């Protein structure tokens, strides 16, 4: 084969191979198969439970616009230490319902990078994991949260969810205990 023929063959291969590697377009049927009817049904059950239990603690939950399997609510009444408690309830792909409660204190989140004594705050959070019904942590931006995870592996846990929701307000007490680490003010 001459040089011109070899170049032509190489050019033909370069053009054909990428075209062969291009994935086929997604059909409407395969897109429908990607939907998760079981998770969707669980989300509707969670929505119904939150619609009943949320008002009992003064919270109206709404579905997140950004994440269709999340519900968000704000508890702002009856708190002594927090401005409010932002509640995010997530239905995960792995069959759990996660609660994340973000305390708002003096107009914002309690962020590990902005507190007066981050080592003391970290120590308190670790200790609360032993003392509290909820566990405590920080997210990837450094914001502090209380959390609880419920499994739906054995069915929808209505009674357990009720206990978790009624326990959210109690997290305000721990924010009060964190105040010396947050801003140097005295704990109640």
Mean pLDDT (10-residue bins), the chain, 188 residues: 47 40 42 72 96 97 97 97 98 94 97 98 96 95 97 88 95 97 91
The whole-angstrom separation of Cα 15 and Cα 175 is 63
Query: Which CATH topology does 36-182 take?
Result: Yope Regulator; Chain: A, (3.30.1460)
Domain residue ranges in the chain: 36-182
Look at residue 106 in the predicted model and tell me its pLDDT: 96
């Amino acid at each position: 084969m001459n040089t011109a023929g070899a170049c032509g063959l190489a050019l033909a291969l370069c053009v054909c191979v990428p075209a062969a590697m291009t994935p086929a377009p997604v059909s409407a049927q395969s897109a429908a198969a990607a939907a998760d009817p079981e998770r969707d049904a669980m989300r509707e059950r969670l929505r119904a439970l939150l619609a009943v239990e949320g008002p009992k603690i003064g919270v109206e939950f709404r579905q997140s616009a950004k994440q269709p399997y999340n519900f968000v609510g704000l508890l702002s009444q009856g708190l002594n230490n927090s401005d409010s408690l932002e509640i995010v309830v997530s239905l995960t792909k792995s069959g759990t319902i996660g609660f994340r409660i973000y305390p708002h204190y003096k107009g914002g989140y309690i962020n590990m990078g902005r507190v007066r004594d981050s080592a003391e705050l970290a120590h308190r959070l670790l200790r609360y994991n032993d003392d509290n019904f909820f566990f405590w942590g920080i997210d990837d931006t450094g914001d502090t949260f209380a959390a609880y995870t419920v499994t739906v592996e054995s069915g929808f846990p209505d009674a357990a969810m009720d206990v978790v929701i009624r326990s959210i307000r109690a997290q305000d007490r721990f924010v009060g205990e964190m105040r010396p680490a947050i801003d140097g003010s005295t704990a109640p």
